[in-house]
Amino acid sequence: GFYLESDLAGLTETFVLSTSANQESIAGEYEIEVTGNYAGNDYEIEYVAGTLTVQKMKPEVIWEPETVLTYGAKVDEELIKAQAGVPGRYVVFPPLGNELPIGAPTVSLYFIPEDAKTYGSVVIKKEFTIKKAPLVITTEDVSRGVGQQNPDFEIVYEGFVKGEGKNDLSSLPKAHTEAKVDSVAGVYDVVVSGATALNYEITHEPGVLRIIGPPMLYVDGVRVQGNEV
């Protein structure tokens, strides 16, 4: 409201600002009272109170979880273990017990202080990397005799997350071997292949088929029957 080039420096009177807030005041809004003794003829002065906002203090919260995890990891008490400079409680999203999906999910940790008048809440967001879980697929080792058909191969899995099984695979594995009915006695690989999954890093490992020949028979020190395996 100053006229033309005038400013506050042109006033010789003293204006006083005061408020009831001090260093011990809790968070909130406090009136700033303006008073003065201007008695000049140039201005009609109106004293309008201002507002001082005292904000809540932000407590220090330290949360440094391991952020590279494997499929099957869940939001649990260990994951959200944190340290705060004042008493309070934690709330997490996704909630406790939720499994973290493959990829880069974000977990938000909220700290709510007990002294809500003095301290404000704190939220910390962390991006996690969830890798595929390792899964080994092979077959049980089996044996058969020469001239017999190959048995059905039993596929075995090692590494499924608790509660999951072969029905959680995108495609099931198959097992085959080069051994035929007329194959000679020996040890043959049972090759496993074809399994795929969204949440597992799959390793196919061969099993063993052992073909056993007839017992060895010697006549005068000469082997006339059977093969060494």
Fold of 61-131: Immunoglobulin-like (2.60.40)
Q: Is cis: bond before 94, omega within 30 of 0?
A: yes
Put simply, whether the predicted model's pTM sits higher than 0.75 gets the answer: no
Q: How far is CA 202 from CA 86, 167, 168, 197, in A?
A: 46, 15, 13, 8
pLDDT tens profile 99-111: 999 999 999 999 9
pLDDT, mean of each 10-residue run, the chain (229 residues): 51 74 81 78 78 88 98 97 96 97 97 93 98 98 94 98 96 97 95 98 98 73 58
pLDDT at residue 65, rounded to an integer: 97
Domain ranges of the chain: 8-54, 61-131, 133-219
Summary count for the chain: helices (H), strands (E): 0, 19
Domain boundaries 133-219, CATH class? mainly beta
Identical topology for domains 61-131 and 133-219:
yes
Helix (H, G, I), strand (E, B) or coil at 222: strand
